[in-house]
Amino acid sequence: MAEYGEWNRKGATLSEVTAKDEYGVSRDFIITGIEADKLEYREGSIWGNPYLRVLRSQLEKYIAEQLGTAYLMKVKNQTELRKIKKETAELKKRLDTLQHRKTALEETLKK
């Protein structure tokens, strides 16, 4: 089902917790997809806590089938908006820091 090397590609897989955050789906939803042979998975463990990894492309296709394309697009857009807002806030903070530094340097050069 999966393309060659898809499991190794950056961003191609996600854990069940990330799937919940990004797509709003539960572990049970993912397990149902696994049992229906719609999702391939791999098991992982961090600090002794087991989790499931699934392929993003398959999960998105499964979500579109089960919950609709409109739901998938809405959730993806919300996730992208959240990332943009976070990056914007970080850039504003960095810009403020640079402007303060610029002001300080200009003051020292005037002397």
pLDDT of residue 28: 95
55-82 b/e (C-beta count within 10 Å ≥ 16 → b): bbebbbebbeeebeeeebeebeeeeeee
| Residue 110: per-residue pLDDT | 86
- Model pLDDT, residue 58: 94
Look up the pTM and report it.
0.78
pLDDT at 73 over 70: yes
Give residue 6's pLDDT: 85
How would residue 104 be classed by pLDDT, with cut points 50, 70 and 90? Answer: very high
